[in-house]
Structure 1
């Protein structure tokens, strides 16, 4: 006669999922044991999980350093006193509320505000736009100046000046 239709749809997938979870737990236990004993060289390459989580680069890109100089840092209460319109109560990057005395970055193009550390981490990953609306950090009227400073700091102008002097252009 067989199983009722509802019984097989519920029981077998749960059994399958629990079996996979058990096998994953055993795999992680074996990998941890090998790593603890110093035998991780015997594991297949790419079979283990990364030992260190992905984090911000050790040295931020040059563009991030220049953007930090460009974007204003203000105290949260100063922004509230200046009456810049309706400001959000929390940072959309970390979802923590803004508190009195905290340093924030106020983006002049789109008027969004973020905790200073949240936006700095965003810039450390070579992001040059607002995390919320993707408006560029650098206003159009300042883009040429920003590019010249970026080229000067990174040494691009010296490379091009050498090229132009060699080629006679």
Structure 2
């Protein structure tokens, strides 16, 4: 029996605790991200940088690295 173990898929849509109460801007479109919205409205990269979902999805069509720190991004 040959079992293949698939890599765990990274979840970009997760709740973020906003402990600072400071507005967070998407570095792609330069507008504020509302963390009180549904988690489908924004994406959190493994490096903890936060972007609007549509912005990061379009970015990842071109480049699979964080626009802020250039760390490699897993597939969405």
- TM-score, structure 2 as length reference: 0.65
What is the match of residue 128 of structure 1? 64
More strand by share: 2
Can you give the 5+ residue segments of structure 2 that lack an aligned partner in the other structure? 1-8
Q: How does 1:26-45 map to 2 (within 5 A)?
A: none
Aligned residues: 64
Q: How does 1:57-136 map to 2 (within 5 A)?
A: 70-74=10-14, 78-81=15-18, 83=19, 89-99=24-34, 100-101=36-37, 103-108=41-46, 110-125=47-62, 127-136=63-72
- TM-score, structure 1 as length reference: 0.32
Partners of 2:58 and 2:52 in 1: how far apart?
A: 10
Can you give the 5+ residue segments of structure 1 that lack an aligned partner in the other structure? 1-68, 139-145, 147-169
RMSD (Å) for aligned C-alpha atoms: 2.6
Q: CA deviation at 1:112?
A: 0.6
Q: CA deviation at 1:87?
A: 6.8
Name which one, 1 or 2, has greater alpha-carbon Rg. 1
